[in-house]
């Protein structure tokens, strides 16, 4: 018998398993992945979640309220590698986890779940970067107000199968500085404060305060790049954990080549930290002629951008 209920639907996915199979072999890699998914499942269940199904390298769970889901997501990000190491499992490269959640109405039928919240959460997972938790505005609104400032608004995403875009927020986990705890106060770390982005549509300097910026073919993108190889919302640059980070959201991938390096970093629904200077190529490898590119330069913001007058 079907039943309409309001729940928080969570999808979690472990990425990096392909490289794991190549480096460890089938048997050991399968053991690592299975153990890792089980760890995520136990954490979800400890916070009141119900595991609906496992999905290859991930799982789907439902919570009565988003607070339990949020606590579980934070614990997964903080604890997965530690738990694996405690069990003697130290995979290289380390697996990364992406989490997405949506709060809303769904239908429960014979233990399975269907409905809009399920579809949105599943599609939102495609946009999560490495070790990120993304939530809908309905999920954030259903949380106690004291937790609202732990989210950073990203942008309205066009999810597959939906006509209207969805407003998305990224959960910012608490960070502790072990060195400060051990040795008392230290001098503030030098962090990048500005990024210069230059492409066919112009050049602009951004501070962390006016991020994220979006590259894409859509007119709604910050940098609208009219090229068939570029997705409507192809990639974004955002401020994350004190660094400028590039996140791929595309169908064809995003490619990065840093200055004085021949190696090309390939992102497919993944993320990387930008440093120094280099070139971002949208949809094709930088070696392809007439590739749609964006040049970036990380800098000290006060040295390059005039401050507003007060």
Looking at 36-50, 98-112, 288-302, which range is the least confident one? 288-302
pLDDT of residue 279 exceeding 90, the answer is yes
pLDDT at 284: 94
Q: Would you place residue 191 in the very low, low, confident or very high pLDDT band (cuts 50, 70, 90)?
A: low
135 and 156 in contact (C-beta within 8 Å)?
no
pLDDT of residue 123 exceeding 50, the answer is yes
pLDDT at 93: 47
How far apart, in whole angstroms, are the C-alpha atoms of residue 245 and residue 275? 9
pLDDT of residue 288 exceeding 60, the answer is yes
pLDDT at 308: 38
pLDDT at 94: 61
30 and 37 in contact (C-beta within 8 Å)?
no
In the numeric block, the tokens 């993304």 are attached to 134
Looking at 21-25, 115-119, 145-149, which range is the least confident one? 21-25
Exposed (0-12), middle (13-18) or buried (19+): which is 204, by Cβ within 10 Å?
middle
Distances in whole angstroms, Cα of residue 136 to Cα of each of 115, 148, 251: 15, 12, 22
Q: Report the pLDDT averaged over residues 182-207.
A: 69
pLDDT at 234: 95
pLDDT of residue 188 exceeding 70, the answer is no
Q: Report the pLDDT averaged over residues 211-239.
A: 92
53 and 113 in contact (C-beta within 8 Å)?
no
Question: pTM for this one?
Answer: 0.60
pLDDT at 310: 26
pLDDT at 172: 82
The model's pLDDT over 246-274, given as tens digits with 9 standing for 90+, comes to 988 998 999 998 887 777 888 887 777 78
pLDDT at 141: 95
pLDDT of residue 286 exceeding 70, the answer is yes
Q: Report the pLDDT averaged over residues 143-154.
A: 89
| Helix 26-46 × helix 17-24 angle, to 10° | 140
Any residues with CB less than 8 A from the CB of 217 and at least 6 apart, and which?
224, 225, 226, 227, 228, 230, 231, 232, 234
pLDDT of residue 5 exceeding 70, the answer is yes
pLDDT of residue 56 exceeding 80, the answer is no
Helix/strand/coil for 125: helix
pLDDT of residue 90 exceeding 90, the answer is no
Q: Which residue has the higher pLDDT, 179 or 207?
A: 207
Q: Would you place residue 192 in the very low, low, confident or very high pLDDT band (cuts 50, 70, 90)?
A: low
pLDDT of residue 241 exceeding 90, the answer is no
Nearest alpha carbon to residue 292 among 208, 205, 249, 231 = 231
The rounded mean pLDDT for the chain is: 81
CA gyration radius, the chain = 20
Q: Report the pLDDT averaged over residues 181-190.
A: 36
Q: Would you place residue 276 in the very low, low, confident or very high pLDDT band (cuts 50, 70, 90)?
A: confident
Any residues with CB less than 8 A from the CB of 123 and at least 6 apart, and which?
159, 160, 161, 162
pLDDT at 259: 83
């Amino acid at each position: 018998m079907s039943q309409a209920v309001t729940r928080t639907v969570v999808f979690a996915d472990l990425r990096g398993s392909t490289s794991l199979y190549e480096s460890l072999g089938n048997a050991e890699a399968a053991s690592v992945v299975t153990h890792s998914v089980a760890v995520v499942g136990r954490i979800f269940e400890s916070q009141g979640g119900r595991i609906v199904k496992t999905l290859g390298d991930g799982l789907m769970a439902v919570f009565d309220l988003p607070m339990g889901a949020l606590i579980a997501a934070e614990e997964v990000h903080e604890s997965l590698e530690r738990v694996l190491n405690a069990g003697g499992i130290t995979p290289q490269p380390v697996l990364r986890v992406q989490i997405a959640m949506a709060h809303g109405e769904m239908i429960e039928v014979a233990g399975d779940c269907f409905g809009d919240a399920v579809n949105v959460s599943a599609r939102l997972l495609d946009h999560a970067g490495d070790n990120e938790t993304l939530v809908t505005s309905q999920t954030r609104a259903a949380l106690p107000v004291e937790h609202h400032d732990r989210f950073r608004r990203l942008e309205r995403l066009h999810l597959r199968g939906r006509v209207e875009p969805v407003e998305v927020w990224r959960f910012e986990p608490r960070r502790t500085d072990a060195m400060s705890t051990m040795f008392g106060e230290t001098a503030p770390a030098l962090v990048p404060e500005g990024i210069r982005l230059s492409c066919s549509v112009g050049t602009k300097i951004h501070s962390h305060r006016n991020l994220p910026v979006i590259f894409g073919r859509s007119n709604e993108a910050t940098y609208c790049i009219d090229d068939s190889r570029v997705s409507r919302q192809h990639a974004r640059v955002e401020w994350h954990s004190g660094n400028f980070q590039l996140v791929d959201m595309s169908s064809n991938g995003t490619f990065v080549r840093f200055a004085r390096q021949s190696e090309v970093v390939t992102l497919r629904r993944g993320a990387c930290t930008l440093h120094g200077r280099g070139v971002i190529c949208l949809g094709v490898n930088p070696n392809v002629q007439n590739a749609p590119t964006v040049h970036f330069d990380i800098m000290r913001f006060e040295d390059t951008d005039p401050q507003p007058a007060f």
